[in-house]
Amino acid sequence: MPALILASSSPYRAELLARLGVPFEQQSPDIDETRRPDEPAEDYVCRLAREKAAAIAEGRPDAIVIGSDQCSEFRGEILGKPHTEDRAIEQLMQASGQAVTLWTALAVHDPANGRIRVEQVPTVVQFRRLQREAIRRYVSTEKPLDCAGAFRAEGLGIALFERIQGDDPNALIGLPLIALVRLLSQVGMTLP
Residue 192 lies in a domain: no
Q: Per-residue pLDDT tens for 123-145? A: 999 999 999 999 999 999 999 99
Helix (H) or strand (E) holding 184: helix 177-186
Q: With beta carbons less than 8 A apart as the criterion, state whether 3 and 62 touch.
A: yes
Contacts for 116 with CB less than 8 Å, ≥ 6 apart = 50, 53, 54, 57, 67, 107, 108, 109, 110
Assessment of whether the complete model's pTM goes beyond 0.85: yes
Is 167 an active-site residue?
A: no
Q: Per-residue pLDDT tens for 46-91? A: 999 999 999 999 999 999 999 999 999 999 999 888 999 999 999 9
Number of domains in the chain: 1
Active-site residue (options: 69, 110, 167, 168): 69
Residue 191 lies in a domain: no
**147: CATH:** 3.90.950.10
